[in-house]
A and B are shown apart, each in its own frame.
Chain A
Amino acid sequence: MSMVSGRDEPRGHAIRLFTIWGVLSVLAVVLVIWVLGPQLPPGSMTVQAHGQTGANIVLTAVCVPIALLVVVFFGYSLVAFRSRGLAGDGPPIHTNGRVMMIWLASTVVIVLGLAIWGSWELLPEQTGAGGGAGPAPIYKPAGARAALPIQVIGEQWLWTFRYPTYGGVESQQLAIPAHRLVAFHVTSLDVTHSFWAYKLGVKADAVPNVDNIAYVDANDTGTFTIRCAELCGLWHGHMYTTGLVLGPSQFAAWITKTRKQYAFSTHLLPPFSTHYFPQPQRRAG
Chain B
Amino acid sequence: MTTAAIAVQPPVWRRLMGFNALTGTVLGVGGFFLGQWIGHVVTTGVDSQVGTDQNDVALILGYLFAVAGFLIGLGFANYPVQRMLGRPAELPREQAGGVGRYFTLNTDHKVVALQYFFGVLFFFFVGGLNAMLIRVELLQPTEHAWQPGNYLTLVGLHGTMMIMMTSAMMLGPFANYLLPLMIGARRMAFPRIEALTFWLVPAAGLILLSTIFEEGFPTGWTGYATLSDQAHLGMDSYLVAFALIAISLTLVGLNMIATVITLRAPGMTWGRLPIFVWGTVATGILMLLAAPVLVMTMSMVMLDRTVDTSFFLAPAGGSPYLYENLFWFFGHPEVYILAIPGFAIVLEILPVFCRKPLWGYPLAVAGFLGVTLLSFFVWQHHLFVSGINADLRPFYMLTTELISIPTGSVFLNGRGRIWGTGWRST
A residues with CB within 8 A of B: 7, 10, 13, 70, 73-74, 77-78, 81-84, 87-96, 99-100, 103-104, 107-108, 111-112, 114-115, 118-119, 122, 131-135, 137-139, 186, 190-192, 194, 203-205, 207-210, 212-214, 230-236, 277-285
Contacts and interface: CB of A to CB of B under 8 A. Distances in A.
A188 to B, nearest CB: 9
Interface string B336-356: 000000000000000000111
B421 A230 contact: no
Given A81-B420, A104-B405, A111-B404, A209 B319 contact: yes
A136 B386 CA distance: 13
A83 B423 CA distance: 6
Nearest to B394: A119
B315 A279 contact: yes
Contacts of A134: 387-390
Interface string B300-313: 00000000001001
A210 B389 CA distance: 12
Interface string B349-392: 00000111111111100000000000000000001111111110
B9 interface: no
Nearest to A94: B357
A172 B414 CA distance: 55
A252 B355 CA distance: 75
Interface SS of chain A: loop
Contacts of A279: 315
A103 B408 contact: yes
A160 B398 CA distance: 36
Contacts, number: 208
B224 interface: yes
Interface stretch (B127-135, B172-180, B225-233): B225-233
B369 to A, nearest CB: 15
A77 B409 contact: no
A207 B218 contact: no
Contacts of A132: 385-387, 390
A91 B359 CA distance: 11
A40 to B, nearest CB: 19
B230 A234 contact: no
Interface string B218-257: 1110101011011110000000000000000000000000
Given A111-B404, A132-B385, A230-B224, A73 B415 contact: yes
B390 A133 contact: yes
15 contacts: A13-B419, A73-B415, A78-B418, A81-B419, A84-B424, A90-B423, A91-B421, A103-B409, A114-B401, A119-B397, A192-B227, A214-B385, A279-B315, A282-B48, A285-B230
A190 B225 CA distance: 10
Contacts of B54: 283
A93 B356 contact: yes
Contact of B419 (A77, A138, A186, A280): A77
A277 B388 CA distance: 19
Contacts of B357: 92-94
B415 A74 contact: yes
B387 A10 contact: no
B226 A192 contact: yes
B46 interface: no
A277 B397 contact: no
A282 B404 contact: no
Given A93-B416, A103-B409, 8 more contacts: A10-B419, A73-B419, A122-B394, A131-B384, A134-B389, A138-B390, A233-B230, A234-B218
Contacts of A91: 356, 420-421
B420 A100 contact: no
A8 B315 CA distance: 72
Contact of A94 (B319, B358, B394): B358
A74 B415 CA distance: 7
Given A118-B397, A234-B149, A277-B315, A81 B415 contact: no
B390 to A, nearest CB: 4
Nearest to B426: A84
Given A93-B356, A192-B224, A131 B420 contact: no
Contacts of A203: 385
B415 A208 contact: no
B10 interface: no
A137 B401 CA distance: 23
Interface string B180-224: 000000000000000000000000000000000000001110101
Contacts of B358: 94
A208 B314 contact: yes
Contacts of B418: 74, 77-78, 81
Given A191-B224, A209-B319, A10 B394 contact: no
A60 to B, nearest CB: 15
A191 B226 contact: yes
B227 A232 contact: yes
B320 interface: yes
Given A74-B415, A95-B360, A104-B409, A87 B422 contact: yes
B274 to A, nearest CB: 15
A119 B54 CA distance: 49
Interface string B34-59: 00000000000000100011100000
A280 B305 CA distance: 12
A103 B412 contact: yes
Contacts of A194: 385
B148 interface: yes
A115 B387 contact: no
Interface string B257-300: 00000000000000000000000000000000000000000000
A82 B426 CA distance: 11
Contact of A13 (B218, B314, B420): B420
A186 B390 CA distance: 15
Contacts of A87: 422, 424
A282 B235 CA distance: 13
A215 to B, nearest CB: 12
A81 B416 contact: no
Q: Which 7 A-B pairs have the closest CB atoms?
A: A83-B422, A90-B356, A90-B421, A212-B387, A209-B314, A133-B390, A208-B314
A130 B186 CA distance: 58
A174 B354 CA distance: 62
Contacts of A84: 424
A283 B398 contact: no
